[in-house]
Every structure is written in structure tokens, then in C-alpha cells.
Amino acid sequence: PAKNRIVGSLLNKTLPPRAREILVNLGKVGDRLDLPVYAVGGFVRDLLLGSENRDVDVTVEGDGILFAETFAAEFGCRVKSHEKFGTAVLVFPDGHKIDVASTRLEYYVSPGALPTVERSSLRMDLYRRDFTVNTLAIQLNAASFGLLIDFFGAYRDLHDGVIRVLHNLSFVEDPTRVFRAIRFEQRLHFRIARHTENLIKNAVKMDFLEKLGGRRLLAELVQILKEKEPLSAVWRLESLGLLRFIHPALEASPPSHDLMEEARDVISWFELLFLERRYERWVVYFLALCDSLSSEAFEGACARLALNVHFQEKLKEMRRSAEERMANMEKRLSQQGRLENNEIYYFFKGLSVEVLLYRMAKSGNPELKRCISLYFTKLDSVRTSIDGTDLQRIGVPPGPRYREILDAVLSAKLNGVVFSKEEEIALAKSYLR
Ligand code: ATP
């Protein structure tokens, strides 16, 4: 009863009214179809922890697709159903989505009788989940709206901050849970239960993770690297001996903590400065994580993770090219002391944001860092005001001269020698003579 009072008040007070209204409506549709309906999993976990989670997962004891279609018809949602899995996605007019699942079908064949189809209970369904903290359900039907259902001691584990599997074969059944355990542990500032940690160690020893497909391993790694604060999870991967499943060389030459921390700082600097800019943060961490690897080993890691071939090639090439350019740049810097803006521009042009941020984190040379920062903040976006048509108009004969002149004008603009379009045209004309 005490738990239910807490859930009731959380549903009333912390949920935005619109979210609560949707839950109530889900319950009403369940009532009409005479189906028990529950909010389950991460949503309930986060509700109890007081953190926002807009992803509501709903489980229906019965035909979830019928449920979703009825709900959609009444509330103007679109439905995407997967008959085979008994699941559906409700898409609201504002784009918000709710996943609906049915407790799974079980087929029983009793001797001498026709096969009967029954639905497994909610309990069986929740038992298939990864950790106790993800097994909570809240009933949504009107008569018991807000009733907390806790089969596996999840409330206690949430209270104590413990990540615990439901049974001993959990990691054998699905080795990705090893990574999920670490991700939740670090995100929620929980602790993996001792027995669960022993099961992880056992899975590592027995090489269960060797069998994990590249794409699934990648998905888990990416999810970890996309967390707000991924470093503690990375060090947990390291101390549990899990990095070797990405590449064995990561055990012999482990990632540098200093570099990873620098990467984190560079990332927060960049995100503060360029709120809108789209880039893949996890790639910066991935490059930093693999910094100690030779080209061959890096290639091996990319292949192990089954990265998209095109992306793999691009990443390898950028990593190599950045290395070369940085070396050249260091040399120029030591010869000249400082570089002109146009030199900086052409050194970095064509390198991705991710590779540049990684190099920025890696470089111990403050002047080089300043150059990369200047490139991001100013140089990268500089364009000439004139283009080919302007050159045509002033009588430049068609040919490779166009590119040369436009590059020269861009360099002058980068270096602050020309500002206005008139000045650019005057400069272009001077090349004609
Ligand atoms: P997040 O906030 O990271 O999205 P979540 O708990 O919503 O956390 P999802 O990955 O969206 O996590 O998974 C939804 C639910 O499905 C989880 O609560 C979990 O119980 C279950 N689940 C996901 N992956 C597994 C797995 N590998 N084994 C068992 N259950 C899983």
C-alpha cells in the first residue's frame, strides 16, 4: 500500500498532465476491451527514480494489436503493427510514440486434446527481462490505476541502487546484457550485485562474448558511448576485461585515461559552442578509445564491430590523414611559430568534426589546439562572396584558372586581406593582369 501511494503521487505530481492523460486513456481502452494493460520497464523505473523518461512501453495481457488499433482509432494515432511479434507502435499526431506489446503466446499440446493457445502471464513476460529494476509494471485499468506490480523485488533493488539479473543463465542467454548492466549501473549510479558481477566475470572467462555478433556488440558500445557521462562505464568495461572483445590489443595497450578525459572536455567545449551542430559524439570517444591501436588493429576493431564498410573506410582514411596532417602542421609550427589562417584552413579542410575533436583532445600542443578551435569557430564557415559567374563577368577565360583564382580570393579573405565583395572582385581582376 505504501508503494502504491508513492506511485499514485508520482503519477499525479511528477508526470506532465498530458502524459498522465494518455496513461488514463490507455487504461480506459483496456477496460472497454476487457484487457489488463500495464506501463512497464524503463518508464516505471525512471518514474520511481524521479527522472524523466518519455518512452512509455505498454504491455497488454491479451491481443496488443487489437488494443493498439482500438486506441489509435479513438485518439487519432497511426499504428504500425508486427503481427508476428504481437507488437505495435502507436504514433501520436505530434510524433510521440508508444510501444505496445502483448504478453507472448504459448502453445500447449496436451495428449488426446486439440492444441490450445494460451497467453503467458505478465509475470512470465517480465521474467524475460534483463534486470530486476526493469521488471516493474504499473496497472493502467481504471479500477486499479497506479497499482504497482513487483514480482522480483525490483522496488527494493531500486531503493538500494542494485542491478541484478533475474536468473543465473541471463548472460548466457543474451551476452549483450553484460554491457547493459554496466550502462545502467553507471548511468543510475547503482552497483551491480555481487552475484551478478560474478556471473559477468564467468561469462568473460568462458568467452561467451566472443560469440556475440559484431552489430550487436557495436550497438551496445555505441549506447554506452552515447551516455551523458560514458567514461566511468568505459573504465568498468576495462576492469572487467571486456575491452578485449572489441580488440585483443586493447588489453595489451589499454586506452589512455588522460586522453579519454581530454576527449570529454573537448566534447563539452564543442557542444557549448555549437549547440546546433550535428555530429556523432560516440565516434570521438571511439577514436580516443582506439588511439593506442595500430592501423591494422584499428581495422580489426572496426571489422569486429561490423561497422558499415563505407564508414569503416572513411574512418580509417581520416584517422591516417589526420595523423599525417598534424605531423606536418607541427613541423610548420616549429619552423614558423605561427600559421596563417589560410594554411590552417587547408590543413583541416575535409576532415570530419569527429576526427578533429579527437585530434584536438590528443594534441598536447596548445598552439595546435588553438588552430583547431579557430578552424571550428571561424575559418570553416568562410566562403567567398564571388563565384564563377562573377569571374565570367570580369572576363576570366573558362578553365582551371577559375579554381586557382577563387582559392586565392578565399585565402585572402581567410587572412583578413579582403572583406567586401568589391575587394574580392578587385583582387580577382588583379590576377587577370
Ligand atoms: P533506456 O533509457 O536506455 O532506453 P530502457 O530501460 O528503456 O532504457 P530499452 O533498451 O529501451 O531500455 O529496453 C526496454 C526494455 O526492454 C528494458 O526496460 C528491458 O527490460 C528490456 N530489454 C532490453 N534489452 C534487453 C535484453 N537484452 N534482455 C532482456 N531485456 C531487455
Express as a percent the part of the chain with pLDDT over 70: 96
Whether 109 and 190 share a structural domain: no
pLDDT at 113: 55
Average pLDDT, the chain: 92
Residues 203 and 124 in one domain: no
Residue 112's pLDDT is 57
Higher-pLDDT residue of 368, 150: 150
Residue 397: pLDDT band (50, 70, 90) is confident
| Whether residue 149 is found in the same domain as residue 228 | no
Residue 111, pLDDT > 80, answer no
Do 25 and 151 lie in one domain? The reply is: yes
* One-letter identity of residue 299: E
Q: What confidence score (pLDDT) does residue 119 get?
A: 47
* Distance from the alpha carbon of residue 15 to the mean position of ligand 1, in angstroms: 21
Amino acid 117: pLDDT: 46
Mean pLDDT of 256-266: 96
In the chain, how many domains are there? 4
322 shares its domain with 425: no
CB 131 within 8 A of CB 165: yes
- From the CA of 29, how far away is ligand 1's center (Å)? 25
124 and 10, same structural domain? Answer: yes
**Best of 180, 190, 200, 221 for a ligand 1 pocket test (most atoms within 8 Å of beta carbon):** 180
Name the more confident of 142 and 120: 142
Position 180 pLDDT exceeds 60: yes
Q: Which DSSP category does 83 fall into?
A: G
Task: Report the C-alpha gap between 234 and 252 in whole angstroms.
Answer: 16
Q: Give Cβ neighbours of residue 34 (< 8 Å, ≥ 6 apart).
A: none
User: What CATH number should be reported for the domain holding residue 202?
Assistant: 1.10.110.30
For residue 314, pLDDT beyond 60: yes
Whether 124 contacts 117, CB under 8 Å = no
How confident is the model over 1-56, as pLDDT tens digits?
A: 677 778 888 888 889 999 999 999 999 999 999 999 999 999 999 999 999 888 89
Specify whether 30 is located in the same domain as 136.
Answer: yes
Ligand 1 centre to CA of 401 (Å) is 59
Q: What value does the mean pLDDT take over residues 353-376? A: 90
pLDDT band at 99; cut points 50, 70, 90: very high
pLDDT average, residue stretch 315-341: 91
Among 378, 369, 368, 376, which residue's Cα sits nearest to residue 329? Answer: 368
Decide which of 245, 274, 308 is a domain's last residue. Answer: 245
Q: Is 183 in the pocket of ligand 1 (CB under 6 A)?
A: no
By three-state DSSP, how is residue 183 classified? helix
- Among protein residues, the one with the nearest Cα to ligand 1's atom 7 is 42
Res. 104: pLDDT tops 70: no
Nearest to 264 by CA among 358, 186, 183: 358
Q: To 10 degrees, the CA torsion angle through 14, 229, 170, 106? A: 40
Closest residue CA from atom 11 of ligand 1: 42
List the CATH number of the domain containing 63. 3.30.460.10
% of the chain at pLDDT higher than 90: 75
pLDDT value at 305 more than 50: yes
Q: Please identify, among 214, 245, 276, the residue that sits at the C-terminal boundary of a domain.
A: 245
**Rounded to whole angstroms, how far apart are CA atoms 49 and 33?**
32
Of 130, 132, 173, 182, the residue with max ligand 1 atoms within 8 A of its CB, to mutate for a pocket test, comes to 130
- 402 shares a domain with 363: no
Residue with cell string 559524439:
281
Same domain, 193 and 225: yes
Residue 108 is predicted with a pLDDT of: 55
Domain-ending residue, one of 160, 190, 212:
160
For ligand 1, atom 5, which residue shows the shortest CA distance? 42
Residue 105 confidence (pLDDT) above 70? no
C-alpha 175/C-alpha 66 separation (Å) is: 33
Q: What integer is the mean pLDDT of 162-172?
A: 97
For residue 116, pLDDT over 70 is answered with no
Q: Please give the residue range of the domain that contains residue 284.
A: 254-381
- The reply to whether 353 and 300 lie within a common domain is yes
Confidence of residue 369 (pLDDT cuts 50, 70, 90): confident
Residue 107 has pLDDT above 80, yes or no: no
Same domain, 217 and 92: no
Tell me which of 429 and 364 has the higher pLDDT: 429
Q: Is the pLDDT of residue 260 over 90?
A: yes
Q: Are residues 92 and 136 in the same domain?
A: yes
ipTM over 0.85: yes
Residue pLDDT, tens place only, 231-246: 999 999 999 999 999 9
